[in-house]
Structure 1
Amino acid sequence: MKKIGKIIAVLLLLVLIAISIFYVANNEDFPEGKQGSEADALANKMLTALNIEAYNNTRYLEWSFRGKHSYKWDKQENIVEVSWDENKVILHTKNSEKSKVVTNKSDETENELIQKATAYFNNDSFWLVAPYKVFENGIERSIVKYNDKDALLITYTSGGTTPGDSYLWILDDSGKPISYKMWVKIIPTGGMEATWNDWTTTASGAFLPTKHELPIGTLDLGMVKGYN
């Protein structure tokens, strides 16, 4: 038994060492940025590169999140069909009182399922349309020098599920996102990077990502669709 205990202790020590190395290698200080017209101009350059007009004119978006949550979003009517584990909720994003549970295959109450669907949608839609949200209310835009190029720092001061989170958008020469670095509450290391370079052009002409690569694995958005 003592030998097994020693083996477990050694394994735990190795895990702690690996976690410490990962933290040191991946943790970055929060960057200092400058707000103002230059930051807004860079944000507009990014939106132009992504064909913001086509996105704004797209009525329906469909995607999934890691094969677990599925969505059909009517942007015009602000209604989202959220499905997971044989549960289905119709969310009214601008009037939550109208939200309803269509199918309940769990022991949770209707209110609990609506709250869960809302949290899923807030997180999972961000990974689909985050670049298009940079001029919404409660957002600060700053310009940062990163590898001798201008990058766009976005901080969410209010709204959503996790206000206070910040993202540094790394852009190519045209302004199209390549990746972003994250300083967010749910990730203990600052500056973890996620790719934004697996784009598809949808039927409506909008550019949307299909997956993201992170140090901890791939985040797949499934069959992404945008149409009218």
Structure 2
Amino acid sequence: MKTIYKAAVLIFTVLFSSTAVFAQTKDEKANLIVQEMLTAMGGIKNYNATHFIQWDFVNRKIFWDKWTGDVRIENPAAKQVVLLNINTLKGKAYENGLLVNDDTKTQELLVKAKNWWINDSYWLVMPWKLQDPGVQLKYIKTDQLPDGKTIDILQLTFNAVGVTPENKYWLYVDKKEHLITQWAYYKNFNDTEPKFLKPWNNYQKTGTILLSFDRPNEDVGPKNVIVKSNFDASIFTEL
């Protein structure tokens, strides 16, 4: 997958535009905007209570037990199925329907699968991850989109977490709906023009929360999302 489609993080030093007090106020404003967003999407309690999510991303199918960290990723293009726990990085991999017995290759596939999960899940649940440890949020400005909507722009970067340390994002949050309407991806922190500006729309209630997926006219993004409380746990242990 192209670099621009990788969910990413950045290790950086925040440059304050004036005094430390002013910067602190901006951080508080960004966090307030995120709190309003999470409330509009169902609340963090309901997100934490969501047990199982399944979705498609480009040519992969992902199954995720949020409570245990167990993940199944099917990659039909390479005839691969990887079963792993994203917290322990333990698991197993199959190619062409056969268990991979080479320990080195298995470990390589487990690492690759975790990176796939980091990327693919971020395109789906990013709003719920904005206050995770290591996340840096900064209020940029309030602006108006061409369609007349008033939005708050937040800058998203990271501190010592993630797999791509040079990226940043701008999130455009509708002031009325309190939902992200689009996001911009910058390959490097100092870039002034984004590599992409894509919609974050078509919110649908799945279980007790809102998620944005099946975005119109987008070839990249989460599709066919399923949220369940009851599921067959053997999908994380058996081919």
For Structure 1 versus Structure 2, the TM-score category normalised by the shorter chain is: 0.7 to 0.9
- Shift of the 62–44 alpha-carbon distance from structure 1 to 2, 3 Å rule, reads same
Query: What is the identity, as a one-letter code, of the residue corresponding to 1:130?
Result: M
The corresponding residue for 1:6 is: none
The corresponding residue for 1:211 is: 214
* Structure 2, gaps ≥5 residues long: 1-14, 18-22, 145-150, 230-239
In the TM superposition, what is the alpha-carbon distance from 1:226 to its structure 2 partner?
A: 1.3
- Structure 2 residue 63 is matched with structure 1 residue 59: no
Q: Distance in 1 between matches of 2:129 and 2:92?
A: 26
Q: Distance in 1 between matches of 2:228 and 2:69?
A: 15
TM-score, scaled relative to structure 1:
0.74
TM-score, scaled relative to structure 2:
0.71
8 Å Cα contact 1:151/1:168 also seen in 2: yes
In the TM superposition, what is the alpha-carbon distance from 1:47 to its structure 2 partner?
A: 1.2
Query: What is the identity, as a one-letter code, of the residue corresponding to 1:69?
Result: R
The corresponding residue for 1:174 is: 177
User: Tell me, what secondary structure is at the counterpart of 2:120?
Assistant: helix
* Structure 1, gaps ≥5 residues long: 1-30
Deviations 1:136-190 (A, max 9, x none): 11111111114254222211222222134221111111311111111135xx883
The corresponding residue for 1:74 is: 65
Q: Distance in 2 between matches of 1:184 and 1:212?
A: 22
Match of 1:155 among 109, 132, 157: 157
In the TM superposition, what is the alpha-carbon distance from 1:99 to its structure 2 partner?
A: 2.1
The corresponding residue for 1:94 is: 87
- Structure 2 residue 181 is matched with structure 1 residue 190: no
Match of 2:137 among 141, 155, 163: 141
Q: Distance in 2 between matches of 1:136 and 1:167?
A: 15
8 Å Cα contact 1:165/1:183 also seen in 2: yes
Across the aligned residues of Structure 1 and Structure 2, the Cα RMSD in angstroms comes to: 2.7
Identity across aligned pairs (percent)? 24
Q: Which has the larger radius of gyration?
A: 1
Deviations 1:83-126 (A, max 9, x none): 10231111211111x2222x223999212211221121111111
Aligned length: 191
